[in-house]
Structure 1
């Protein structure tokens, strides 16, 4: 598991989180993890527009 924040000034930010398993992600984010971002309480007020969610899966080694 890991995370990083990448800034693209003037107004973009990319938050990447890596999970050991899909089960771990579901335990943290609950039922709508595929289509709704998980925000900590009160953090939505800092956003100028809604977050977009995209998921990527690491390809197995060749």
Structure 2
């Protein structure tokens, strides 16, 4: 079962090192909660598109 972008975002914000054998980035430590969450979602979307998207021409933006 493919993960969702939200699951990846949560894993990044939880400072998990790996998610399904994919190394995750370190969460942003400074800024407002909104800024930290936006950065995590940006990273999660990139990871999702690179590793879990079936059709590369229909990437999530």
TM-score (norm 1): 0.23
Considering Cα pairs closer than 8 Å and 6+ residues apart, tell me whether 1 or 2 has the greater RCO.
Answer: 2
Which of the pair is proportionally richer in strand? Answer: 1
Task: Give the greater-gyration-radius structure (CA).
Answer: 1
Which of the pair is proportionally richer in helix? Answer: 2
TM-score (norm 2): 0.24
